[in-house]
A and B are shown apart, each in its own frame.
Chain A
Amino acid sequence: MKRREFILKGVSAGLVTGTSLSIGGLTGLASVLPAQSTYDLVAVRDGEPDVMFDRAIASLGGMAKYVKKGQKVVVKPNIGWDVSPERAGNTNPKLVGRIIRHCFDAGASEVYVFDNTCDAWKLCYKNSGIEKAVKDAGGKIVPGNTENYYQTVQIPKGKRLKEARVHELILNSDVFINVPVLKHHSSASISLAMKNLMGVVWDRRYWHRNDLHQCIADFVTWRKPTLNVIDGYRVMLRNGPRGVSEADVVLMKQLIVSADIVAADAAATMVFGSKPEDIPHIRIANDMKLGTMDLTRLNINRIKI
């Protein structure tokens, strides 16, 4: 109990420091950058995953806007499946590697990467190419395979999900970058940024058992990621979230970046070819005011490479 309180306080303290620092950082950046960035969301297309991220983060004001010197960053890609990058079941390793480099360039002290995988975790880490990408970029790949890594948190604003066991990295890091891959999903219709957060908790079965879509939205009331980067480079259009073969995958070369998790999911849903209001958890999150799915109200930067 004491430990949990300490960690929770640690996180909120970290967030406060982050905010105060970011104001100082922004004023510093404004003089450097040619135009002041006020975009709510950036959509990039037709580039390689790393190049698209370079463009997106630059247009948002650089990674320094989100990561301050000495901060600990956790990057949470989707590493759920023991499949190769071509199968697009997991986040693109090139994208993950580039995000980590940007974090270090911004002065991050450590960048951690993990997922609570579905298939055998070591095989997922290896065959997704993400373990290597993380190591090459200087980050730390961390297991999420046993319950010991997870600590109970209360979710007072949740309607169905009142508590969850969350990976300690989420609790201990200053910055949380959520990097899902855009894909079809048999349970949640589409797997996106909010759905990707199921990989930071231990007991996913509870969510499935107790109104999946409501639980997905409920968890966002507890913590929103600092930044959401949705990988739409290769997109699994059917048989998700695992996919059966490469025939399920098309090359779309898209990337969506936003601090608003609901907006990011809404934009990615439209890229996928669906309507955000048709995806129950996006609709619920919008109604719970966790973000907006109405993209007309947002300042969007559209970049075609």
Chain B
Amino acid sequence: MRSVAWPRKARIALSLVFLIFTGVIFLDPARWIPVTWINVITWPQFAPSFLKFLVTGIWAASGFLLFVILTVLFGRIYCSTVCPLGTLQDIISRIRRRILRQKPLRYARPQNMLRYIILIIVIISIIAGSALLVNFLDPYSNFGRIMANLFRPVVLTANNTLAGILEKQDIFWLPRTPWKSYQLASLGFAAAFLILVTWMSAVSGRLYCNTVCPVGALLSLFSRISLFRISLDKQLCNSCGQCSKVCKAQCIDVKSREVDYSRCVACFNCITACPSSGVVYGIAKFRINNGKKKFEAAENGHRRTLLKALMVGTAFLSTKTFATRLTGGEKPTSIPEERSQVSSPPGSEGHDHFNKNCTACHLCVSACPTHVLQPSFLEYGVQGLMQPYMDYHSGFCNFECTVCGDICPTGAILPLAGEHKKRVQLGVAVFIKENCVVYTDETDCGACSEHCPTKAVDMVPYKDGLTIPEVNDKICIGCGACEYACPTRPFRAIFVEGNQLHIMADEPQQEEIILEDTGEDFPF
């Protein structure tokens, strides 16, 4: 009898579509992908949509629910198709086994204790108001960080090289995009995580998904009772073990001809591999002993150390050194900017809401047109590790732009209407007169006021016809344009003190201009 290949092929095709689309939104060098597409692409991602549902309560945001239902019906197809990290691991696993011709997989016992303890801790942490563990363990967010921190620089380098080549031919449609996100903490974490899943998947297929991943553990509870499932036909199966060798989840025990549905990710490799059509995917027969199989309590053993290895990534120190290049023999400034807290992005409502709901996938970091959003290290404290913050030395928040809120998949940054966004105060500018060029050099500058979109930083008379900045904190929105533009180094003469809780700034008051008629057509 011929083996059936189409379910596996369909699964591979679908998973590649999800992998490519999800990857591309992080790699897009020139923001070609429209916001609505990004939202469609991230909608089915489990952990982000779950958090977004908790935040907004909007059913339309509940992509995760669809996959709970689909898991009950068809098994963990989220894990085999939608999850980009799952597909990434499949590719790694395939490279090792097919191209490097390493030994095939074999059945392994489940690590139930470990995975369910992790799941319980993650759920408790979410209830307790911390996104930190989801941040560390969620497959989508980790995939996002791998893309944004490791692959994006490669793509941008290629993009900028190509742009340079095209420019030589007088073609300018491809713009260069500078790379500014080199925060070592998130880069190191992403690299460590990639190494970890590479190793885990190379050795044992979907080991991460079935021992560490909280999404995998949660869905396993539903796939245990799934309607459609893999089973070994007792008549046709001759226990040759071919299915077990290609089972990424290592969940087919050919000796007992039992499949651990909780770990099965519905990849359908086994159906294709079976030479005797003994692997069947169909509606579960109601057999009493199926549900309560004798899954031995997991021996935790050395695999727990994997979790420790994961945590090692956080030990990387951020070496954020601000550009302190001095030019032209100018006097360095002496008074440090004493910022007690950073600003969280507009729409995040403040540190508390943001820290509770951001899983640090870095989608906003990739999409931010001014690069003001940068991964943090300890700027928010440990609970906000790697979550993006407003880095006003890297850029400033474009007044009209609402992209981060428009695309945030978790609801950590909520969408803001344009006019509303222009009044949301993330922080307040603080002027250090003693650092200011006008004070130290007695020459005009005004770079801060020039960039200010509300004229909260205005130039007022100083002396000898000079003007000096003055801050109106009522209308300041903390966009950081002043801080970004300020030319003094190493310390700037103006900086933004973050607001713990965002508030609404006053609207700038505008009087009408009345022009006098001079009675002449030209003044010269």
A contact residues vs B (CB 8 Å cutoff) = 43, 45, 82-83, 110, 118-120, 122-123, 127, 140-143, 145-146, 148-149, 160, 162, 185-188, 203-206, 208-214, 237-239, 241-242, 244-245, 247-248, 250, 267, 270-271, 273, 280, 295, 300, 302, 304
* Pairs A–B under 8 Å by Cβ, sample size 14: A45-B521, A83-B400, A120-B398, A143-B176, A145-B175, A146-B160, A187-B444, A206-B327, A210-B441, A212-B443, A212-B446, A245-B510, A247-B510, A271-B523
Query: B164 at interface (Cβ–Cβ under 8 A)?
Result: yes
Considering only CB atoms, which chain B residue lies closest to A280 in the complex?
B444
Chain A residues lying within 8 Å of B170, measured Cβ to Cβ, are 110, 140
Instruction: Judge whether B330 is part of the interface by a CB distance below 8 angstroms.
Output: yes
The distance from the CB of A160 to the nearest CB of chain B, in whole angstroms, is 8
Across-interface contacts of A273 in B (CB, < 8 A):
523
Q: Select the stretch in B182-190, B202-210, B384-392, B450-458 that faces chain A.
A: B450-458
CB distance from B488 to the nearest CB of A (A): 7
Residue of B nearest to A275 (CB): B523
Please tell me which one of the listed residues A118, A187, A300 contacts residue B449 in the complex, with CB atoms under 8 A apart. Answer: A187
A187 touches B447 (CB 8 A): yes
Tell me whether A244 and B370 are in contact in the complex, defined as CB-CB below 8 angstroms, given that A146-B160, A270-B523 are known contacts.
Answer: no
Whether the Cβ atoms of A122 and B31 lie closer than 8 Å is: yes
B513 is an interface residue with CB less than 8 A from chain A: yes
Known contacts A119-B399, A146-B178, A242-B451; 13 additional CB pairs below 8 A are: A43-B524, A119-B370, A122-B175, A127-B400, A145-B178, A187-B446, A187-B447, A187-B450, A205-B485, A239-B455, A242-B450, A248-B510, A250-B513
Q: Once the chains are docked, how many angstroms separate the CA of A209 from the CA of B141?
A: 42
Q: Restricting to B451-468, which residues have a CB under 8 Å from any CB of A? A: 451-455, 458-459, 465, 467
Residues of chain B contacted by A127 (CB below 8 angstroms):
400
Complex alpha-carbon distance, A301 and B31, angstroms: 47
Q: Which residues of A contact B400 (CB under 8 A)?
A: 82-83, 119, 123, 127
Select which of B330, B369, B454, B510 is within 8 A of A120 by beta carbon: B369
Cβ of B100 within 8 Å of any chain A Cβ, yes or no, is: no
Q: Is the CB of B512 within 8 A of A247?
A: yes
For residue B291, CB closer than 8 A to chain A, the reply is no
Give the chain B neighbours of A162 by CB distance below 8 A: 328
Contact A238 B445 (CB under 8 A): no
Q: Considering only CB atoms, which chain B residue lies closest to A186 in the complex?
A: B449
Residues of A within 8 A of B487 (CB): 205-206, 208-209
* Chain B residues with CB under 8 A of A204: 447
Contacts of B523 in A (CB 8 A): 270-271, 273
Instruction: Give the distance to chain B from A165, nearest Cβ to Cβ, in Å.
Output: 12
Chain B interface residue bracket vs A: 35 or more
B445 touches A209 (CB 8 A): yes
7 pairs of A and B residues whose beta carbons are closest in the complex? A187-B446, A205-B487, A247-B510, A120-B369, A186-B449, A209-B487, A270-B523
Q: How far is the CB of B114 from chain A (nearest CB, A)?
A: 46
> In this assembly, does B515 line the interface, its C-beta being within 8 Å of a C-beta of chain A?
yes
Which of chain B's residues have a CB closer than 8 A to the CB of A83? 400
| A242-B453 in contact (CB<8A) | yes
A160-B444 Cα distance, complex, nearest whole Å: 14
Closest to A119 in B: B398
Docked pose: A205 CA to B483 CA in angstroms: 12
Asked if B508 is at the interface of the complex by the 8 Å CB criterion, the answer is yes
Instruction: Give the contacts of B409-464 with A (CB-CB under 8 A).
Output: 437, 441, 443-447, 449-455, 458-459
B451 nearest in chain A by CB position: A118
Give complex CA distance A118, B513 in Å: 26
A42 → chain B closest CB, angstroms? 11
A206 to B326 alpha-carbon distance, docked (Å): 9
Nearest B residue (CB) for A254: B522
Over the window 359-400 of chain B, the binary record of Cβ atoms lying under 8 Å from chain A Cβ atoms (1 yes, 0 no) is 000000000011000000000000000000000000000111
A142 to B170, CA, bound (A): 10
B330 CB contacts on chain A under 8 angstroms: 209-210
A123 close to B488 (CB less than 8 A): no
In chain A, what residue has the closest Cβ to B508? Answer: A244
Instruction: For residue B221, give the distance in angstroms from its CB to the closest CB of chain A.
Output: 45
Chain A residues with Cβ below 8 Å from B176 are 143, 145-146, 148-149
Q: Please, which residue of chain B has its CB at the minimum distance from the CB of A83?
A: B400
The answer to the question of B172 belonging to the interface, with a C-beta cut-off of 8 Å to chain A, is: yes
CB <8 Å contact, B327 and A209: yes
B401 close to chain A: CB less than 8 A: yes
Chain B residues whose C-beta falls within 8 Å of the C-beta of A237 in the assembled complex: 513
Docked Cα-Cα span, A149 to B455, in Å, equals 31
Q: How far is the CA of A302 from the CA of B524 in the complex (A)?
A: 9
B513 pairs with A208, CB closer than 8 A: no
Q: Is the CB of A82 within 8 A of B510?
A: no
Q: Which residue of B has the minimal Cβ distance to A272?
A: B523
For A271, list chain B residues within 8 Å (CB): 522-523
Distance (whole angstroms) from the CB of A206 to the closest CB of chain B: 5
On whether A185 and B370 interact (CB within 8 A), knowing A143-B176, A209-B445, A245-B508, the answer reads no
Q: What separation, in Å, do the CA atoms of A242 and B400 have in the docked complex?
A: 13
Q: Take A140-B172, A187-B447 as given contacts and tell me if A148 and B452 are in contact as well, using a CB distance cutoff of 8 Å.
A: no
B contact residues around A245 at 8 Å (CB): 508, 510
Which of A143, A212, A213 contacts B172, CB < 8 Å? A143
User: What's the Cα separation between A300 and B521 when bound, in Å?
Assistant: 13
A27 to chain B, nearest CB (A): 31
Q: In the docked arrangement, what's the CA distance between A295 and B522, Å?
A: 12
Smallest Cβ distance from B408 to chain A, in angstroms? 18
Q: Return chain A residues, CB-CB under 8 Å to B369.
A: 120, 122-123
Contact of B443 with A211 in the complex, beta carbons under 8 Å: yes
Nearest chain A residue, comparing its CB with the CB of B368? A120
**How far does the Cβ of A142 sit from chain B's closest Cβ, in whole Å?**
5
Q: How far is the CA of A237 from the CA of B512 in the complex (A)?
A: 11
Determine if A244 and B454 form an interchain contact, defined as CB atoms under 8 angstroms apart.
Answer: yes
Q: In the complex, what distance in Å separates the CA atom of A168 from the CA atom of B522?
A: 38
For A110, list chain B residues within 8 Å (CB): 170
Asked if A213 and B178 sit within 8 Å, CB to CB, the answer is no
Contacts of A214 in B (CB 8 A): 443
CB-CB under 8 A from B524, the residues of chain A are 43, 267, 270, 295, 300
CB pair A302 B398 closer than 8 Å: no
- Chain A residues near B459 (CB-CB < 8 A): 186-187
Complex: A143 Cα to B512 Cα, angstroms: 36
Complex Cα distance, B400 from A271, in Å, reads: 31
Q: How far is the CA of A162 from the CA of B164 in the complex (A)?
A: 28
> Given contacts A82-B398, A302-B522, are A248 and B513 in contact (CB under 8 A)?
yes
Docked CA distance A188–B449 (Å): 11
* A247 touching B446, Cβ below 8 Å: no
Query: Which of A119, A120, A205, A271 has the most chain B CB atoms inside 10 A of its CB?
Result: A120
Contact of B455 (CB < 8 Å), options: A45, A244, A300: A244
Let me know if B444 and A188 touch, CB within 8 A: yes
Question: Are the C-beta atoms of A187 and B521 separated by less than 8 Å?
Answer: no
- Measured in the bound complex, the distance between the Cα atoms of B398 and A82 in whole Å is 8
Of B164, B451, B515, B521, the residue contacting A148 (CB under 8 A) is: B164
Closest to A252 in B: B515
CA distance in complex: A248, B452 (Å): 14
- Output the residue of A209, A212, A295 with the most chain B CB within 10 A: A209
From A203, A205, A270, residue with most partner B Cβ within 10 Å = A205
A74 to chain B minimum Cβ distance, whole angstroms, is 12
